[in-house]
């Protein structure tokens, strides 16, 4: 039996520096904004509401549309329980990964040659 392909968002968790990010109004950045829902079969799944289309990040305002797109593209994980799904979506997906301490704005400031370079 072939091994199931890992969802795209997992690679973004493990290699955040290889992907774009969204700058939020408060100065923070977002890469995934995970959600947890029950699919049509009654299974708890987790999926990003910010999804990578191969070129840019697409931020879904509606969790249902994000879920539909994630299911269609295979960009979700099935979870064993509601509790584990909710914990993962609330930030558990970052724990122990490169995304846990990812802050491209700090890295940009460290490598900038001028103040203007750091803030642009």
Q: Dump pLDDT digits (tens) for 59-79.
A: 999 999 999 999 999 999 999
Whole-model pTM: value is 0.82
DSSP readout, 32-90? --EEEEE-TTS-EEEEESEEE-SSSEEE-SSHHHHHHHHHHHT--EEESSHHHHHHHHT
- Whether the CB-CB separation of 50 and 9 falls below 8 Å is answered with no
Classified as helix, coil or strand, 23 is strand
Residue 101: its pLDDT value, please?
86
pLDDT in tens, 75-110: 999 999 999 999 999 999 999 999 888 888 765 555
pLDDT at 118: 45
Q: Cα–chain-centroid distance for residue 21?
A: 9
- pLDDT of 2 over the 60 cut: no
Residue 4 has pLDDT above 70, yes or no: no
Q: How much of the chain exceeds pLDDT 70, in percent?
A: 84
Task: Give CA angle at 90 (106, 16), nearest 5°.
Answer: 35
Please tell me the predicted confidence (pLDDT) of residue 115. 44
Core vs surface per residue 73-85: b (16+ CB within 10 A) or e: eebbbebeeeeeb
Q: Please, are residues 99 and 10 in contact by the beta-carbon 8 Å criterion?
A: no
């Amino acid at each position: 039996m072939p091994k199931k392909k890992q969802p795209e968002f997992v690679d973004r968790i493990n290699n955040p520096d290889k992907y774009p990010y969204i700058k939020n109004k408060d100065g923070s950045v977002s890469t995934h904004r995970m959600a947890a829902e029950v699919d049509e079969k009654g299974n708890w799944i987790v999926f990003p509401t910010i999804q990578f289309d191969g070129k840019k990040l697409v931020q879904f305002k509606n969790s249902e549309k994000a879920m539909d797109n994630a299911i269609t593209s295979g960009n979700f994980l099935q979870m064993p329980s509601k509790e584990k799904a909710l914990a993962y979506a609330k930030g558990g997906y970052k724990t122990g990964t490169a995304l846990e301490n990812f802050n491209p704005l700090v890295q940009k400031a460290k490598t900038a040659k001028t103040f203007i370079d750091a803030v642009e």
